[in-house]
């Protein structure tokens, strides 16, 4: 059943009003009619099976049939802080990272990020990124939409990291030595409900200043398997590993 995330003003008692892109998707892309069923999710993470009662040029109206008891969010909250990568790789991280259960994303301007965002571009990008995670949440039947934070500097990222219980960063050079903390060791010490932040460097990796700053702020280096992963593959490995650990192995 198709899922739609409906903003707060779309809910009225047992009635759901759907407008904009979602209305278009229901009416034109899915070509649904009155009587068809969809799942509507609220910003608070509640979901209901709803029956479409009317489709007009401006709005789809649906009635709540039953509330669903479901939660397929990871038992730990994982924020992916991604050093701005080249091209459209950030979009891949957002889409796949959402499917794999990330709670939030922080794009950050690393010293070796080749891409630079100015004010207007940052705004446009963020709006596009929010659309990507919304659609990926709907498609993967998540009960919540990950947050996409505005672009941060490394300094802002370090300040924001104070709110997290577990802080890790993927640092290839150290991971190739034997001087790394294993991901499984870190996850074994993490508890359900805790907040994890994982920082992934851009294509060129971190500068030594960044590495030292992360360490000074309590970040631990992790290895993500013995092979070298591209910047956009690293968060996907990390999220799949966390899912496997908590949701499949039941550690």
Say if residues 104 and 152 touch (Cβ distance below 8 Å). no
State yes or no: residue 240 binds a copy of itself (CB under 8 A). yes
Say if residues 55 and 26 touch (Cβ distance below 8 Å). yes
First and final CA of the chain: distance in angstroms? 31
Among residue numbers 202 through 231, which ones bind a copy of itself (CB under 8 A)? Answer: 223, 225-230
State yes or no: residue 37 binds a copy of itself (CB under 8 A). no
State yes or no: residue 245 binds a copy of itself (CB under 8 A). yes
Minimum CB separation from a copy of itself for residue 42, in Å? 19
Phi, psi of 249 (to 5 degrees): -80, -25
For 221, the 3-state DSSP assignment is strand
Rounded to whole angstroms, the Cα distance separating 240 from 36 reads 34
Among residue numbers 174 through 203, which ones bind a copy of itself (CB under 8 A)? Answer: 182-184
Say if residues 218 and 101 touch (Cβ distance below 8 Å). no
Nearer to a copy of itself, 134 or 223 (CB): 223
Binding mask 96-135 for a copy of itself (x = CB under 8 A): x--xxx----------------------------------
State yes or no: residue 247 binds a copy of itself (CB under 8 A). yes
State yes or no: residue 2 binds a copy of itself (CB under 8 A). no
Rg value, the chain, Cα: 20
Minimum CB separation from a copy of itself for residue 112, in Å? 17
State yes or no: residue 167 binds a copy of itself (CB under 8 A). no
Nearest to 134 by CA among 126, 241, 75: 126
Residue 247 backbone class (left: φ over 0; alpha: ψ -120 to 50; beta: rest): alpha
Nearer to a copy of itself, 67 or 244 (CB): 244
Nearer to a copy of itself, 150 or 225 (CB): 225
Strand partners, 16: 11, 62
| Chain mean position to CA 67 | 25
Minimum CB separation from a copy of itself for residue 150, in Å? 26
Residues that bind a copy of itself (CB under 8 A): 72, 92, 96, 99-101, 139-142, 182-184, 223, 225-230, 233, 236-237, 240-241, 243-245, 247-250
């Amino acid at each position: 059943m198709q899922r739609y995330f409906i903003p707060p003003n779309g809910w009225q008692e047992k009635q759901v009003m759907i407008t904009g892109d979602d209305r278009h998707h229901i009416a034109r892309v899915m070509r649904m009619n009155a009587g068809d069923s969809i799942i509507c999710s609220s910003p608070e993470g509640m979901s209901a099976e709803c029956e479409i009662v009317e489709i007009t040029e401006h709005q789809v109206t649906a009635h709540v049939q039953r509330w669903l008891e479901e939660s397929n969010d990871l038992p730990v909250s994982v924020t992916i802080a991604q050093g701005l990568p080249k091209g459209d790789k950030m979009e891949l991280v957002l889409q796949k990272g959402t499917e794999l259960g990330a709670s939030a994303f922080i794009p950050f301007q690393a010293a070796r990020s080749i891409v630079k965002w100015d004010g207007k571009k940052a705004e446009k990008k963020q709006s596009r990124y929010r659309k990507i995670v919304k659609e990926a949440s709907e498609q993967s039947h998540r009960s919540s939409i990950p947050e996409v934070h505005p672009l941060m500097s490394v300094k802002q990222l370090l300040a924001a990291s104070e709110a997290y219980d577990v802080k890790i960063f993927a640092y290839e050079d150290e991971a190739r030595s034997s001087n790394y903390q294993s991901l499984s060791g870190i996850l074994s010490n993490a508890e359900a409900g805790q907040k994890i932040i994982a920082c992934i460097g851009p294509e060129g990796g971190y500068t030594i200043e960044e590495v030292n700053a992360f360490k000074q702020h309590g970040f631990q280096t992790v290895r993500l398997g013995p092979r070298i992963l591209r910047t956009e593959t690293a968060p996907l490995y990390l999220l799949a590993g966390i899912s496997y650990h908590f949701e499949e192995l039941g550690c």
